[in-house]
Chains A and B, each alone.
Chain A
Amino acid sequence: MSDRVLRLENVGKTFGRHRALAEVSLAFVPGQVAAVLGPNGAGKSTLLGLLSTLSQPSRGRITLGDEQLSRHSPMRAKIGYVGHEPGVYGDLSARQNLRLFASLYGIANGERCIDEMLARVGLDSVRREAAARTFSRGMLQRLALARALLHEPEILLFDEPGAALDPAGAAWLAGELQHEREAGRLVVLVTHDLAATAAIATHVVVLRRGRVARDETRASFSADEVRAIYQEATREKS
């Protein structure tokens, strides 16, 4: 796994006259799970959009190692993204979805990788021709993770991946995140779930009104520590 740092330098993003992010400077390090927290409208999803290259910063720059991340950059092939929605084709089966993305990414030994990935996310026993639209929410999220990991990305981005998952699904996902962290991958997770954050995060960023209100890295966080950091960072100053 690469040891390149994902760095944001004075990044700002505006939509018309609305300022979504301002002067955001952060560094995300491989082998850590960074949780980006904040109230609604704090700019979390905007930040993830910028990191995924699907959106361009209005100012500042984002780099991975020495290379700049931008919409046109081939670096986007090094990103895996799991969002609220699974990002797969409902009319295709799990295997067909993975086969499509394997071919688009030019993955050598595609079929073997697909078999391994389906086994890893527990979808290997699903009926081969079952369309993804017939899957439960948990199964779709497993397929989304398989799609995001298929090309062995350097950066893994998650936008509320546990939303709408049952406790068993959320626990499975936390285990997978842990696994990716231990494998040395760079993981950035946007979430509202403070308890889940405490279980897996080693880097906590709190955004408030588009700015970094807190940026803290530790070997581990307790749930109380995450809650305290969050509350302090998002408290209105009188």
Chain B
Amino acid sequence: MKRVSWVSQAARIAWKDLHIEGRSREVVYTMGFMAALVVLVFSFAFISGQETTVGPDAVAGIMWVAVLFSGTVALSRTFDRERESEAIRSLLLSPVPRSAIYAGKLVATAAIMFLVEVLLAPLLAALFSAAIWPHALWLGLLLLLGTIGFCSVGVIFSAALLRARSRDALLGALLFPIVIPVLLSASRATAYLLDPAAPDLDPALFWTRFLAALDVVFVVVGLWSFEPVVMGE
């Protein structure tokens, strides 16, 4: 047997999930539907008559609420394919380090979520006249960092609830309080970016850095804690 690197094993697990999702598109469709629904409900509430401009704080909040709810849909499905037919046992018996399984799952889930978010942003721009284009790349980076932070915790809880009967209900209840710092920093940075009248972008830079630091902490904790969580003893 050849020695397979940690990165290569993580990449294979991520590729397997993306390949399956590419075939079925189950998570992308359900997530996309959920995100669009959240945005539409907010548009019904905030837009009346000719008034279509909503403040950047509100748009940022709407965006991250949509990410939160639709992301929970994605996370609840993260280990479904491992649970079916007990494929998780085969994976855990393989010589793959459990941290590489975590990393693979994190990359695949974050990539799927990010794809939906990239499609969601123009919808927000169209419905709320949000200024997403002047700092589109930065906004993309924020979405990516926020998604990584959200998924890094979510994958752990999803694994912990692998065999729980009421996992869908429990996932949100456990996940939401922990990801508050991620959502807070992501929505604050987004609000500053979307504000065309903002005198400077220093606060956005501060919150982006804070979010990146949170990601590092959450990913390291996730890599360290995945094995005891998934082994369940």
Contacts and interface: CB of A to CB of B under 8 A. Distances in A.
A185 interface: no
A77 B94 contact: yes
Task: Identify the interface centre among B87, B91, B95: most chain A CB within 10 Å of its CB.
Answer: B87
B16 interface: yes
Interface string B121-141: 000000000000000000000
Task: Identify the interface centre among A55, A86, A87, A151: most chain B CB within 10 Å of its CB.
Answer: A87
B9 interface: yes
Task: Identify the interface centre among B85, B91, B94: most chain A CB within 10 Å of its CB.
Answer: B85
A103 B4 contact: yes
A167 to B, nearest CB: 23
B89 interface: yes
Contacts of A132: 85
Contacts of A85: 85-86, 89
Interface in B73-131: 81, 84-87, 89-96
B89 A87 contact: yes
B94 A104 contact: yes
A226 B87 CA distance: 33
Interface in A81-102: 81, 83-92, 96, 100-101
B23 A91 contact: yes
B12 A100 contact: yes
Task: Identify the interface centre among B2, B13, B24: most chain A CB within 10 Å of its CB.
Answer: B2
B233 interface: yes
B165 interface: no
Nearest to B228: A71
B56 to A, nearest CB: 41
A54 B163 CA distance: 15
Interface stretch (A105-113, A192-200, A213-221, A229-237): A105-113
Nearest to B20: A91
Given A85-B86, A87-B85, A87-B87, A76 B16 contact: no
B95 A104 contact: yes
B231 interface: yes
Contacts of B23: 91
Given A87-B85, A91-B24, A54 B1 contact: no
Contacts of A151: 1
Contacts of A104: 4, 9, 12-13, 91, 94-96
A91 B4 contact: no
Contact of B231 (A54, A89, A101, A147): A54
Contacts of B16: 89, 92, 100
Given A106-B2, A108-B2, A151-B1, A101 B94 contact: yes
Task: Identify the interface centre among B20, B93, B233: most chain A CB within 10 Å of its CB.
Answer: B93
Contacts of B12: 100, 103-104
Interface in A13-38: none
Contact of B95 (A56, A74, A100): A74
B15 to A, nearest CB: 9
Interface in B207-233: 231, 233
B2 A107 contact: yes
A165 interface: no
Contacts of B95: 74, 76-77, 104-106
Contacts of B85: 85-90, 132, 140
A105 B95 CA distance: 6
A202 interface: no
Top 5 closest A-B pairs, CB basis? A85-B86, A77-B95, A106-B2, A87-B90, A106-B4
Interface of B: 1-4, 9, 12-13, 16, 19-20, 23-24, 81, 84-87, 89-96, 231, 233
Interface of A: 52-56, 71, 74, 76-77, 79, 81, 83-92, 96, 100-101, 103-108, 132-133, 140, 147, 151
Given A87-B89, A108-B2, 11 more contacts: A52-B93, A53-B93, A54-B89, A71-B231, A81-B93, A88-B87, A105-B1, A106-B95, A107-B2, A108-B1, A133-B84
11 contacts: A77-B1, A81-B89, A84-B86, A86-B86, A88-B85, A89-B20, A90-B84, A90-B85, A100-B12, A106-B95, A133-B84
